[in-house]
Structure 1
Amino acid sequence: MNNHLRELRNDHGWSQADLAEKLEVSRQTINAIETGKYDPSLPLAFKIARLFGLSIESIFEPAP
């Protein structure tokens, strides 16, 4: 799965640690999602989408 999490995070001026704190996950989780090593659970994907005020589909998309 591809995602735009790093770009969204940078647009808000947040570090991985900042975003992790807002989502109540570890910084390592954020890093793993951004690098494509981990796909978030559905509840976490909803939490991320809510935080940025976007749809899940606008943040996460299937890999080609």
Structure 2
Amino acid sequence: MKGTLETIRIAKGYSQSEMARKLEIPTSTYYVYETGKRKVPMDIAEKVSKILGEDINDIFLPATFTVSKTKTNHTA
């Protein structure tokens, strides 16, 4: 299942506080990871993947970019 950490967590039926408890971290720390305000350390990412039963790459997707369909005029 691909999606954000939040959507996958909710789909699996966990609250933020339950995830924090399972990860042995404060709920406030889990919150900043989930909202992207802080980078998730690899050891925590691996634990999250195991708890949620999902591939680490499906949870922690690389940044995506939007390509504009507008053409630019490069003539002088």
Smaller-chain TM-score bracket: 0.7 to 0.9
2:61 aligns with 61
* Deviations 1:23-45 (CA, angstroms, capped at 9, x unpaired): 11111111111111111111111
- Equivalents in 2 of 1:59, 1:13: separation in Å? 15
Aligned 8 A contact 2:12 2:52 in 1: no
CA distance in 1, matches of 2:48, 2:59: 9
Contact 2:20 2:30 in 1 (8 A): yes
Which blocks of at least 5 consecutive residues in structure 2 are unaligned? 65-76
TM normalised by structure 1 equals 0.83
Q: Quick one: distance in 2 between partners of 1:13 and 1:61?
A: 21
Higher helix share: 1
- Structure number with greater Rg is 2
Task: Please list every run of 5 or more consecutive structure 1 residues that lacks an aligned counterpart in the other structure.
Answer: none
Percent of aligned pairs sharing the same letter: 35
Q: How far apart, in 1, do the equivalents of 2:6 and 2:29 lie?
A: 13
Structure in which a larger fraction of residues adopt strand: 1
Q: Aligned partner of 2:56: which letter?
A: I
Residue matched to 1:48: 48
Aligned residue pair count: 62
Query: Higher RCO, 1 or 2 (CA under 8 Å, sep at least 6)?
Result: 1
